[in-house]
């Protein structure tokens, strides 16, 4: 995995960070709209569109909102998978080749047309498919 973005922010503050695949025609974006944190899959064509969104957190549920938070976005070497890392912990993965999105709480359920997987929870088993053992931080 190659890190593309490292950004420090405070949870509950208006934040929007994006990153594009180094080899493919899509990207991802993280948004904290002061209520929720969401990780989006984006088609980077002439008519960009949001393909999918994964719930990362509710601001109201976070106890330590005043502390600085480190957000990182990385890509697989082939550019087909994107990873959201917050404070050194993996929170979400988008696999554009399989049209799959995974996050810790598995929300939302697959209701869109883009995602082809039903189980969206980011488990240790899912992470093992994408990351070398020394990269797996829960």
Least confident of 13-17, 89-93, 118-122, 130-134: 130-134
Mean pLDDT (the chain, rounded): 92
Region 118-138 average pLDDT: 84
Going from N- to C-terminal start, the domains of the chain cover 2-135
Take residue 6 and report the two structure tokens written for it: 């490292």
pLDDT in tens, 75-108: 999 999 999 999 999 999 999 999 999 999 998 8
C-alpha distances (whole Å) from 32 to each of 36, 37, 110 are: 6, 4, 21
The residues facing 3 across adjacent strands are 74
Percent of the chain with pLDDT over 90: 78
Q: What is the pTM of this model?
A: 0.93
- What is the model's pLDDT at position 47? 84
Residue 138 has pLDDT above 60, yes or no: no
Q: Provide the sign of the torsion angle of the four alpha carbons 38, 17, 137, 131, taken in this order.
A: positive
Per residue, what are the HEC states of 33-92? CCCEEEEEEEECCCCCEEEEEEEEEEHHHCCCCCCEEEEEEEECCCCCEEEEEECCEEEE
């Amino acid at each position: 995995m190659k890190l593309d973005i490292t950004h420090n922010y405070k949870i509950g503050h208006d934040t929007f960070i994006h990153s594009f695949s180094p080899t493919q025609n899509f990207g991802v974006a993280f948004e904290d709209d002061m209520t929720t944190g969401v990780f989006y899959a984006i088609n980077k064509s002439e008519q960009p569109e949001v393909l999918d969104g994964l719930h990362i957190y509710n601001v109201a549920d976070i106890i330590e909102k005043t502390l600085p938070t480190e957000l990182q976005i990385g890509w697989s070497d082939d550019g087909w998978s994107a990873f959201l890392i917050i404070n050194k912990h993996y929170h979400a993965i988008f696999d554009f080749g399989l049209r799959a999105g995974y996050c810790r709480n598995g929300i939302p359920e697959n209701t869109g047309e883009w995602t082809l997987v039903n189980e969206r929870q980011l488990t240790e088993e899912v992470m093992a498919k994408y990351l070398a053992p020394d990269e797996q931080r829960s």
